[in-house]
Amino acid sequence: MRSLTTLVAFFLLVLLTQGGEADVLSSSNFGFLVKSEATVAGTPETVFNTLVGGISRWWDPAHTFSGDSGNLSLEAKPGGCFCEEMPNGGGVRHLEVVFVSPGKTLRLIGGLGPLQGSGLAGSMTWSFGEAGDSTNVGLTYGVGGYYQGDIQELAPIVDSVLRSQLQRLKSYVETGSPEP
């Protein structure tokens, strides 16, 4: 329980330092739905392939259990794992891939970060749409289930973290660096 409290406090700190309005589409005592969007210079295939094949290069290491995004991998196939290797043979299955349409849609299920240990489940969908020489990327994450506390308080925190990850992907595709 103490580690869960620490992670929630960390996410709150991230939220307060990033500012901006949350894109929380809905929330209740049972769950929430967040959405972020960005236009990324590049084809849908390029952006999709960078999301999947380059996740270890653009994902924020502060949002890993190991502190090193180089330990992340993402298999873009049904049953594939968004996983993280840990020291001494340990590991984390962050999310499981359930739907793949390369260059169009990637859907994963599971609970990220502190959501994983609290009885919450989620469905995350990445969508990629052509927009001239760019790609409109949508990221939605719906979460529901049991949470000891006010689940609605988590929605803006999760939104902020995911919005930051999307901005890092955009920056990495466009500049080669994940730092916006």
Does 147 reside within a domain? yes
Does 180 reside within a domain? no
Does 37 reside within a domain? yes
The fraction of the chain above a pLDDT of 90, given in percent, is 84
For 96, residues 6+ apart whose C-beta sits below 8 A from its C-beta are: 79, 80, 81, 82, 108, 109, 110
Does 127 reside within a domain? yes
Q: What is the pLDDT of residue 3?
A: 44
Range of the domain at 102: 2-175
Does 107 reside within a domain? yes
Q: pLDDT tens digits, residue range 103-129? A: 999 999 999 988 999 999 999 999 999
Mean predicted lDDT score pLDDT of the chain:
89
CA distance 122 to 107: 10
Does 145 reside within a domain? yes
Q: Are 164 and 43 in contact (CB under 8 A)?
A: no
pLDDT tops 80 at residue 178? yes
The fraction of the chain above a pLDDT of 70, given in percent, is 88
Does 60 reside within a domain? yes
pLDDT tier, 73 (very low <50, low <70, confident <90, very high otherwise):
very high
Provide the domain count of the chain: 1
CATH label of the domain that carries residue 59? 3.30.530.20
pLDDT tier, 5 (very low <50, low <70, confident <90, very high otherwise):
very low
CA distance 165 to 101: 21
The pLDDT of 13-23, averaged and rounded, is 43
Q: Are 147 and 120 in contact (CB under 8 A)?
A: yes
Q: What is the pLDDT of residue 120?
A: 95
> 34-67 b/e with 16+ CB inside 10 Å = b?
bbbebebebbbeebbbbbbebbbbbbeeebbbbe
The pLDDT of 14-34, averaged and rounded, is 71
Q: What is the pLDDT of residue 113?
A: 86
Q: What is the pLDDT of residue 17?
A: 36
Q: Identify the residue whose tokens are 């890092």.
A: 168
